[in-house]
Every structure is written in C-alpha cells, then in structure tokens.
C-alpha cells in the first residue's frame, strides 16, 4: 500500500490534512503504490445460475429470462425479415451522435407542436425497437429509419483488447435497446412533450409509441425491482442492475412522473399510472436492498450490482466492484425527493449522506500536469471532490486500468486512462449539501418544507 492510505488509517481525526499531505508525498514518491488486485468479469444472468436459487425464487427468474430470449429473437428476426422483404444483403448502421443533445426537452411548450418537433418525434418512433426501447447515441434529427437500417449505431469501444469485458455480446447485437447514456427515457420524455402539445387525434401514433416504451420498461424490470443496462439481455456486465450514469434512476424518475400524472404525462390512463407506481416501489426496494453494508454499517452503492446476489460487480476492465461516489450521490438525491419516506428510506439516506461527507477531500485537484496527463495535485482552497471508486472496507480510493489491474493510487495507472476517465469529480457536492439541510438529517430539527417527488 502507498503512504496515502496508511496515513489516512493512522490519522482518522485529521482527514483533510492527511489527504493533502498524502498527495504531496505521493507525488514525490509514487513508487510506494502497488497493484492491489485484478478486476474480474461480471457474471451474466443464466439458467444455470437461476437453478442455484432457492426453489420458490426460480419460477419468476426463469420466466424473466425466457421473455428476454424470446424478445431478443423477435427483434433480430424482425430485422432479418426486412432484409428479405426488400432484397437487401445486409443492414446499414443507424445515424450516430455523441449524445442526445439533439432531442431538446426544455423548449417552450408551444414548440412541441411545431413541424420541427413532430419531425424529431417521427424519427424517434421509427427507430423504436420491436421490443419497445431505443439504442443510445442515435441522431434523432437525421432521417426516418429505412427498411433494413439497424436500430443501433456503432457503439463499439475504440480500445477493445483480448478478453475485454466490453467486447460486443450476442454476435455484435449490442445496445439495441438500453437505458445507458439516457437512452429510452430521453425518447419517452420527448414524446410526452409532443403528445401534451397536440390534440388527441394528432398525438395517437406518439401515444402508441410512448405506451410501448413503458411496456418495455415494465418488461425489463428484474423480479427484485432492478433494471439491467440492456434489454433484452445480451450477457456480460450489461445484465447487471445498473446505476452507472444514472441509468436506473432516470427510469425511476420517469415512472414517478407517470405515476403522478405530472405535467406532460397527464394523458396516461389510471391503470398505467398504477402500474408505474407499483414498478417504482419495487425499484425503491431494490435501492434499499443493494445498499452496501460492511460490518453491519450501511455505506452507499456500486455502479453495478449482480442481479441475483445483489453484490457489487464489475463493468468494463477498469470499473471495479466497489463503492462509487457519483452514482451513490444520484441515488441519494432521488431518495431525498421521495414524499413521506419511511424509516428504512431515512436510514438509507442518512447512511449514504454520512458516507459522502466522510469521503470528500479538499485542497486537491485532478488536473493536467505538463504532457503527462491528469494527476492529483495540491490545490489549497479547492474542493470538495471525490474519487470515483472506493474500497468498500477501507473507504480508500482505488483505480483500475485497461489491463484489469487495480491500483491504490491514480499515479500508477496508464496515461491513457488518466486522461480519458473521471477518476475524481465534484458531482456528489450538490447531494451532500442537500442532505446536510434535509429535515430528517440526524443533526437537524424537524421543520416544514420536506423535499417531495416533483
């Protein structure tokens, strides 16, 4: 272990000083760092794993997996049938975009009845998969999907190596329907805005697509209330309960808006609203159940949790099964918005808030140094920031690299990963500040104005 972790262990009462001094010493003597482990791949959801569950639990999981496989086959067969019908030899990739910035969600309400908005809505409907979801990084301003055109753009990693955890699963059928990178939830929110701006007759095709999208969300939910990154399932870490980049939280926020008929979602029927509320409650139960507990003490959450064991699990080669700060902050913020939280939710919130408070660091920055990429350097007066990953037992930062090695200092990982990944960030600051003022905070007096679901 390097000097920084040992210093933090020996000086727990002066955490801020220990971090600053440790950084300085690490910069001068990073040879103390060590490879502390090797990342192992996440296990997919399989029939063999389900067969090892207690007998009463197996039926629901078998049914879920069967539904996933049937829908995956239906999605693929739909595309194959198009190729045959139109005498096409192969599919063409969907138009790609870096993000969904081309799907505006904050325009004036009147804009969503415009020709431009309806054109985007038509493109969105055309790229909806047979299962009801959408892929990620789609350009929703380019053109309406053509027969034989794939539902997904090329989402392959640019750095694939042998036995890479991010290798395309299912014969290259990758991210065809997903919640990753705001996919599916973004399309559904845009359709809702257009539906709200049009009369019932004009909005009918968009309502149909919207309700198919909700059915996709309901079908993708695990029996224990979680959601995978990709559905139908395609194996690998994509089968895990996914909090990474807010995937599951975005689904639950959408369901909350639907269940409460908030704003654009007033058109949703009472029966669908009730179904959304039930699904949402199961999701909340999953959040509480997956909160990491060490020696009887609740902490926060991992980016991914195994769908069956609920334990933290890995994702890409450099993404480890441990506590993650940004995703935990997103979950914390969501839980604090719930109206009338019960004692279990309050306990989870206060534990996560305390963990964020404990693991924050100040007087340092993660910034570019010369031509050697980013490093953690002294920066008096700056912060707080958090490491992206923390060992669940020690609450000390850990770092991964593309070769699956796990390190106890960011200085030891490759320059490419130091440049290309957010190993330290300030994303949790807003959630921490909200928790410090939250009326059920253990150090706050009860007062009116509790945060409620919007």
347 domain-assigned: no
Backbone angles phi, psi at 35, to 5 degrees: -75, 120
Among 316, 374, 388, 417, the active-site one is: 316
| Pair 58, 104 in one domain | yes
Classify burial at 12, counting beta carbons within 10 Å of its beta carbon; exposed 0-12, middle 13-18, buried 19 or more.
Answer: exposed
Closest CA to 120 of 129, 133, 111: 111
Catalytic status, residue 26? no
Catalytic status, residue 181? yes
| Pair 399, 260 in one domain | no
State how far the Cα of 196 lies from the Cα of 52, in Å rounded to an integer.
48
Residue matched to tokens 């669940």: 392
| Pair 27, 67 in one domain | no
Residue 138 DSSP symbol: B
Strands across the sheet containing 399-400: 35-38, 405-407, 399-400
| Pair 261, 368 in one domain | no
263: left (phi over 0), alpha (psi -120 to 50) or beta: left
89 domain-assigned: yes
**Structural domain span for residue 24:** 3-33+361-427
| Pair 86, 227 in one domain | yes
417 domain-assigned: yes
Give the end of a domain, one of 243, 268, 290: 290
24 domain-assigned: yes
State how far the Cα of 304 lies from the Cα of 406, in Å rounded to an integer.
17
| Pair 264, 121 in one domain | yes
pTM of the model: 0.89
State how far the Cα of 140 lies from the Cα of 152, in Å rounded to an integer.
12
Residue pLDDT tens, the chain, 454 long: 332 333 233 233 344 444 444 443 344 334 445 799 999 999 999 999 999 999 999 999 999 999 999 999 999 999 999 999 999 999 998 999 877 777 999 999 999 999 999 999 999 999 999 999 999 999 999 999 999 999 998 766 656 666 777 766 656 688 999 999 999 999 999 999 999 999 999 999 999 999 999 999 999 999 999 999 999 999 999 999 999 999 999 999 999 999 999 899 999 999 999 999 999 999 999 999 999 999 999 999 999 999 999 999 999 999 999 999 999 999 999 999 999 999 999 999 999 999 999 999 999 999 998 888 899 999 999 999 999 999 999 999 999 999 999 999 999 999 999 998 999 999 999 999 999 999 888 877 433 333 333 3
Please name the residue ranges forming H helices in 29-54: 47-50
Classify burial at 352, counting beta carbons within 10 Å of its beta carbon; exposed 0-12, middle 13-18, buried 19 or more.
Answer: buried
Residue matched to tokens 């539902």: 151
CATH number, domain at 143?
A: 1.50.10.20
Give the chain's domain count: 2
| Pair 113, 192 in one domain | yes
Among 39, 155, 181, 317, the active-site one is: 181
125 domain-assigned: yes
State how far the Cα of 353 lies from the Cα of 337, in Å rounded to an integer.
14
State how far the Cα of 8 lies from the Cα of 361, in Å rounded to an integer.
12
């Amino acid at each position: 272990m390097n000097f920084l972790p040992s210093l933090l262990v020996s000086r727990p009462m002066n955490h801020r000083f220990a971090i600053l001094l440790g950084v300085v010493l690490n910069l001068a003597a990073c040879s103390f760092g060590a490879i502390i482990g090797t990342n192992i791949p996440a296990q997919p959801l399989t029939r063999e794993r389900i067969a090892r569950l207690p007998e009463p639990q197996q039926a629901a999981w078998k049914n879920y997996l069967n539904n996933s496989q049937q829908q995956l086959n239906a999605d693929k067969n739909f595309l194959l049938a198009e190729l045959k019908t139109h005498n096409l030899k192969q599919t063409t990739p969907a138009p790609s975009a870096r993000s969904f910035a081309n799907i505006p969600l904050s325009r004036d309400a009147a804009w969503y009845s415009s020709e431009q908005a309806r054109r985007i809505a038509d493109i969105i409907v055309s790229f909806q998969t047979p299962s009801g979801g959408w892929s990620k990084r789609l350009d929703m301003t380019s053109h309406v999907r053509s027969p034989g055109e794939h539902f997904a753009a090329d989402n392959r990693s640019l750095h694939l190596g042998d036995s890479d955890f991010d290798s395309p699963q299912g014969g290259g059928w990758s991210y065809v329907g997903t919640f990753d990178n705001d996919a599916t939830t973004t399309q559904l929110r845009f359709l809702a805005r257009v539906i709200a701006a049009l009369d019932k007759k004009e909005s009918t095709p968009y309502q149909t697509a919207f309700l198919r999208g909700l059915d996709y969300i309901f079908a993708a939910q695990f029996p224990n209330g979680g959601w995978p990154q990709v559905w139908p399932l395609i194996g690998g870490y994509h089968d895990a309960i996914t909090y990474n980049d807010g995937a599951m939280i975005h689904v639950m926020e959408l369901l909350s808006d639907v269940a409460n008929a908030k704003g654009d979602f007033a058109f949703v029927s009472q029966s669908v609203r009730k179904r959304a509320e039930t699904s949402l409650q199961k999701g909340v139960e999953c959040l509480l159940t997956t909160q990491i507990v060490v020696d009887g003490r609740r902490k926060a959450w991992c980016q991914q949790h195994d769908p069956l064991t609920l334990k933290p699990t890995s994702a890409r080669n450099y993404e480890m099964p441990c506590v993650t700060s940004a995703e935990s902050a997103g979950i914390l913020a969501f839980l604090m918005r719930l109206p009338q939280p019960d004692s279990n939710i309050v306990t989870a919130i206060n534990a996560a808030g305390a963990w964020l408070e404990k693991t924050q660091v100040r007087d340092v920055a993660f910034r570019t140094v010369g031509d050697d990429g980013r490093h953690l350097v002294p920066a008096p007066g700056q912060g707080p920031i958090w490491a992206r990953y923390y060992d669940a037992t020690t609450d000390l930062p850990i770092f991964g690299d593309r070769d699956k090695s796990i390190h106890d200092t960011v200085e030891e990982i490759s320059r490419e990963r130091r440049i290309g990944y957010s190993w330290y960030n300030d994303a949790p600051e807003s959630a921490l500040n909200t928790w410090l003022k939250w009326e059920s905070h253990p150090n706050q007096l009860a007062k009116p104005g509790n945060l409620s679901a919007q």
